[in-house]
Structure 1
Amino acid sequence: MSAAVFATVAGIALGCALVAGALGLLALRLLSRGSLAAQLIVVAFATVVSVVSGTAVVVSLMYLSAHDLTVFYSVAVVAGIVSLVMASLLVRSLVHHNHYFRAATARIGRGESVISPDRHTSTEFATLAGELAATTDRLTESREREERIETSRREIVAWISHDLRTPLAGIRAMAEALEDGMTPDPERYYVQIRGQVDRLSGMVDDLFELSKIHAGALKLSFERVALYDLISDIVANLAPVALAKSLDLRFEGERGLTLQADARELARAVGNLVMNAIQHSPAGSVIVVSVTRHDDGRAVISVVDAAGGIPAQDLGRVFEAGWRASEPRTASTWGTGAGQSGGAGLGLAIVEGIVRAHAGQVTVTNVGDGCRFELLLPQHPLG
């Protein structure tokens, strides 16, 4: 083929393609608000017309016989129809997938699980369906977490309202008795009022501490802390309370462990656990506070009591704010701050918040006739 003939053929093919393409673009513009299926059919039709028209013009110029032209046009028409049918099948598949993803999106919006696509789905669509399923799982977890948070918030409000009434009613009654001069021992009433005020202050402190934890505003001052010194101080401070209940509060474990921590906040967390154990352990039982080193190098502070354990259905909620155990741990004080005689189930939530701020982990398990709470703390939480 000479250069001139080649240029002629290429020019004819280009011209036909441009005309078919222009008509296709016009059709697409008119169908811009139409369905994707119609637009894909237009693209396929324009492609077929472009090829067939260009070929037909060139063949016609070659002065073939009428029979040969008829054969060519027959082949071209059949090939074009087959191409359009194949395009229609592809469009049908795409429409099917579109319906699937629309339904899947609607199910996600309703909080329902996504149904897996059929086994004939292409790799790309199967991957997208998998991402939708994973998104559904994450959204479900998020909804459940929000529901737990909302339930916890309502429980906190309910328990705070309940626990405030008792000390406030007592203070009011004693104040009225003192005002009317109806008490033979005013000094005793002054002491009791002071005790109730301390109780209220402890509840307010717990709420403030928990609010800082939830807001991410808990600021820690890290320093090198000797765990034996910290634990022995807590045991010494709470020993009189334990002795008053005929409990044996003791320390066991290693004495040379140190780590980087906020001594004040860590003491508060451990003190909450020890005080809870004291409040719930029966007279004559033993409470063991120990310090050991985990196999991975973390320090482990554990508090083991004999308070009857926690029901299995409650173990997953132990560290939720506002949670209070069902039987056998039924005392209203479970979960309160250390040293308080009542509370709204904030103590264990505060413990978890403080431990997390130290990049640690807190766990609880039932052992024997009681519970084991463990604080697992890294040696260098900032590193």
Structure 2
Amino acid sequence: MTDLLLIALYALGAGTAVGLGGMLVLRRLTGRSIAVHIGVLLVVTVTAVVAGVATVAQAMFLSAHDLQVVLLTVLAAALVSLAVGFTFGRRLAAAAMWSAQARAQERRLEAGRRELVAWVSHDLRTPLAGLRAMAEALEDRVVADPAAVAEYHHRIRIETDRMTHLVDDLFELSRINAGALHLAVAQVPLGDVVSEAIAATAPLAAHRRIQLVAAESGWPVVLGSEPELGRVVTNLLVNSVRYTPPEGTVRIEAGHDDQDAWLAVTDTCGGIPEADLPRVFDVAFRGERSRSPEPTGTAGGGLGLAIVRGLVEAHGGQVGVGNTGDGCRFVVRLPGRPQPLTRHRAGSAS
């Protein structure tokens, strides 16, 4: 009984000494990654076991050969334990990191949803109040002058179109986020898509005195869904036109490299603050501009670029933005080897 007590005391003393050393090391590593803490914990645990066994073996007055066998056996077991422990620790650290990233992403999405609800509520409540006031004025015959009545009808149509566009954007974004977007993939001449987008954007560009310039050649044929690609190009052009000062220029061009086709829209908006660049494609992000609708009724709900990113990613591509001189440049990259370039002229407008 005395021998067992002594063995226990020897093992406890060796393990306690190693454990106290490990605690001091862990205190110094405060703030380090979970992988580091797991690694230190494994080393301390295995070292405590090895120290306890070695101390007890020496106290038992084993022969040199027997002591060597015991120590080799313990060291082999320690190496296996460390290898298994480090493998598990890396997986646990990776899972913890992924979980932390998922929680951070969830918080960002939740914040984006709250911001979206607030902005959409504002963008709907303001025109609805105006529509109601104009409708009541017409109903009560407060406005009787034919020119004023025509102006009221014109404003009602503009606000109705703007709200319809906002609801369409919300529906499109909900389809993208819900994974309910079904692409009818085919060979799409990118030059034709750009021509239609320029035609759709030309009235807004003319109203704001913005010149739309398209490259005369170099338009590849890409694999994608034509309606969704048209929405991508139109949203990029409309966004650039809205943020470019009068007498500015918006240029669109395309090409391809070894693997990808690309399309770029460059404007003279004056650039985007560096702090805002990572958020440009977030839902409801509109930078430092006022959240109030523009007088022309052309302001969007801050969803256009979010839709662009969703549609491009649905094609397996990527979209990015950067500052270039006196403006910024949006670049869409679509994967897959594109077909030979066409000489199609996309056209321009001013």
What range is the shorter-chain TM-score in? 0.7 to 0.9
Question: Which whole-Å CA distance do the structure 2 matches of 1:223 and 1:333 have between them?
Answer: 40
Match of 2:198 among 217, 221, 235: 235
| Equivalent position SS for 1:246 | coil
The residue correspondences of 1:194-343 to structure 2 (distance < 5 A) are 194-252=157-215, 254-294=217-257, 296-326=258-288, 330-332=289-291, 341-343=298-300
Deviates more, 1:129-138 or 1:260-269: 129-138
Q: Is the 8 A contact 1:164 1:200 kept in 2?
A: yes
Give the counterpart of 1:133 among 82, 93, 114: 93
Structure 1 vs Structure 2 CA RMSD = 3.4
Q: Distance in 2 between matches of 1:340 and 1:289?
A: 25
Contact 1:258–1:379 under 8 Å retained in 2: no
Which one of 369, 373, 381 corresponds to residue 326 of structure 2? 369
- 1:230 is displaced (CA, Å) by 0.8
Superposed, which structure 2 residues align to 1:37-186 within 5 Å? 114=34, 116=37, 117-118=39-40, 120-121=43-44, 122=46, 123-124=82-83, 125-183=85-143, 184-185=145-146, 186=149
SS in structure 1 of the partner of residue 323 of structure 2 = strand
Q: Distance in 2 between matches of 1:217 and 1:94?
A: 58
Q: How far off is 1:180 after superposition?
A: 1.2
Q: TM-score, normalised by structure 2?
A: 0.73
| Partner Cα distance (2:7, 2:330) in 1 | 71
Residue 379 of structure 1 is matched in structure 2 by 336
Aligned counterparts of 2:297 and 2:173: Cα–Cα separation in 1: 16
In the TM superposition, residue 81 of structure 1 has moved relative to its aligned partner by: 7.6
- Describe the SS at the equivalent of 1:282: coil
CA contact (8 A) 1:332 1:343 kept: no
Letter of the 1:321 partner, please give it. V
Are 2:285 and 2:302, in contact at CA under 8 Å, matched by a contact in 1?
Answer: yes
Higher relative contact order (CA 8 A, sep 6+): 2
> Could you tell me how far 1:82 is from its partner in structure 2?
8.2
| Structure 1 runs not aligned, ≥5 long | 1-48, 50-76
The SS at the match of 1:290 is strand
Distance 1:94 1:259 in 2: 64
Q: Bigger CA drift: 135-144 or 209-218?
A: 135-144
Task: Kindly name which structure, 1 or 2, has the bigger radius of gyration based on alpha carbons.
Answer: 1
CA contact (8 A) 1:159 1:322 kept: yes
SS at match of 2:251: strand
CA distance in structure 1 between the aligned counterparts of 2:234 and 2:137, rounded to whole angstroms: 36
Provide runs of 4+ in structure 1 moved above 4 Å. Answer: 80-96
Summarize the Cα distance change of 1:157–1:369 in structure 2 as closer, same or farther, 3 Å threshold: same
Which residues of structure 2 form unaligned runs of 5+? 47-81, 339-350
Instruction: Please give the alpha-carbon distance, in whole angstroms, between the structure 2 residues aligned to 1:287 and 1:256.
Output: 17
| Equivalent AA in structure 1 for residue 191 of structure 2 | Y
Letter in 1 for 2:282: E
- Partners in 2 of 1:340 and 1:218 — Cα distance? 29
What TM-score, normalized to structure 1?
A: 0.67
Q: Percent identity?
A: 39
